[in-house]
Amino acid sequence: MEPDPPGFLPAGSVKVWWLLSQSEPTSWTRESGPMGPSGATVDGGRLAAIGCLLCIKVVEVKSSFSLFLLKVCRYHRHIMGKEKIHLNIVVIGHVDSGKSTTTGHLIYKLGGIDKRTLEKYEKEANETLRSSVTPQMPWYKGWSISRSEGNCSGKTLVDALDSIIPPERPTKLPLRIPLQDVYKIGGIGTVPVGRVETGILKPGMVVTFAPQHLSSEVKTVEMHHMSMPEALPGDNIGFNVKNLSIKEIRRGNIAGDSKNNPPCGAASFIAQVIVLNHPGEIHAGYSPVTDCHTAHIACKFSELLQKIDRRSGKVIEENPKMIKSGDASIVLMVPSKPMVVESFSEFPPLGRFAVRDMKQTVAVGVVKSVTKDESKLTKVAGKKK
């Protein structure tokens, strides 16, 4: 039988070390309780030492029935204290793999448990004689990572979380907020709700809602029932607007700064489409439902312009008669109702879409270019005069 490679623990009843913020690696058995020293007992399989995880995106347990996943999803400024970055961590595993233990101990180490509760659990642990810890990993030397922003090293999970560089948010792009819903709140008025995709929203700004091209002043911006001085990309917000009813704006509309490249309805757009799963052939005139940002509108495949290679993008055929599953093509698409889309190169969140038909996703695509519906914009502006 081959010896276990460095960094692996033997099969059978093994201990998992969660290196959170201790200077010395310690372990404990699952019976010690969630607030004891870090660790958990898992039966069967080989388990990659958690120290190998900290470089840091995904950790996989070498077992047929256990999987741990650590992923940084996004960050937030307004949760967990003033201007602190908020990381979402997903931990997936077998029912006995120690997910709750890991998460609970991480919260404990980061000060997320009030003093009274902490004292209660410490007292219980001392009374049941389950509070002892022993060094178990003399072989573990820590982790290190090389990256263009600067090398980094450490020993614990907390060290690794602290070393993550927050993503740069598209605050310099014009404002775009796809509306998820619109509410009428007594004593406040009309409150559109949505996620800021690009740009910055502040109280006092005049925003334009497209494709209707209605403008209104923003009175307040709120998130998690708190008034905010500004909303940045990634924030899910509600904002109160003046002189608009819930019948004038709806889900699928886009809000933008009226003074900085406001959004506009699309008369048509050219898209690169990949057919994933369609039972037959797709010809010009096909009109499935297109899901783009929060909009759910049928769009006609007006013209099949080119069939292209999915990998290289090289043109295979001009003006193909049809496309089928597995094909990629350049298509001229025309919305059946007023709709806002943007080119993927300028506004990625508003430039990708899914094509739905027969209760399944039959194709996906990205918007290459957009022909704006300028006539409607001029008409509405004329009415305001």
Query: What are the φ/ψ torsions at residue 324 (nearest 5 degrees)?
Result: -140, -175
Could you tell me if residue 273 is inside a domain? yes
Residue 350's CATH number: 2.40.30.10
Q: Based on the domain organization, do 249 and 305 belong to the same domain? A: no
End-of-domain residue from the set 209, 227, 257? 257
Tens digits of residue pLDDT in 282-319: 999 999 999 999 999 999 999 999 999 988 889 999 99
- For position 225, what pLDDT does the model report? 85
For residues 151 and 192, membership in a common domain is answered with no
Domain count, the chain: 3
- Is residue 64 domain-shared with residue 196, that is, in the same domain? no
Give the range of the structural domain holding residue 201, as residue numbers without chain letter.
177-257
The answer to whether residue 124 is domain-embedded is yes
Q: Is residue 247 part of a domain?
A: yes
Whether 50 is covered by a domain: the verdict is: yes
Instruction: Quickly tell me which residue has 């004292």 as its tokens.
Output: 119
Assess whether 305 and 325 both reside in one domain.
yes
- What does the pLDDT look like over 69-115, one tens digit per residue? 333 333 344 434 445 667 777 887 787 777 888 888 788 777 778 88
Among 130, 163, 196, where does a domain finish?
A: 163
CB 48 within 8 A of CB 10: no
pLDDT attached to residue 74: 37
Q: Based on the fold, state whether residues 331 and 235 are members of the same structural domain.
A: no
Residues in the chain with pLDDT values less than 70: 1-85, 129-136, 375-385
Check residue 28 and give its pLDDT. 30
Per the domain annotation, does 168 fall within a domain? no
Does residue 2 lie within any of the structural domains? no
Q: Are residues 115 and 26 in the same domain?
A: yes
Where does a domain end: 131, 163, 195?
163
Position 12 scores a pLDDT of 32
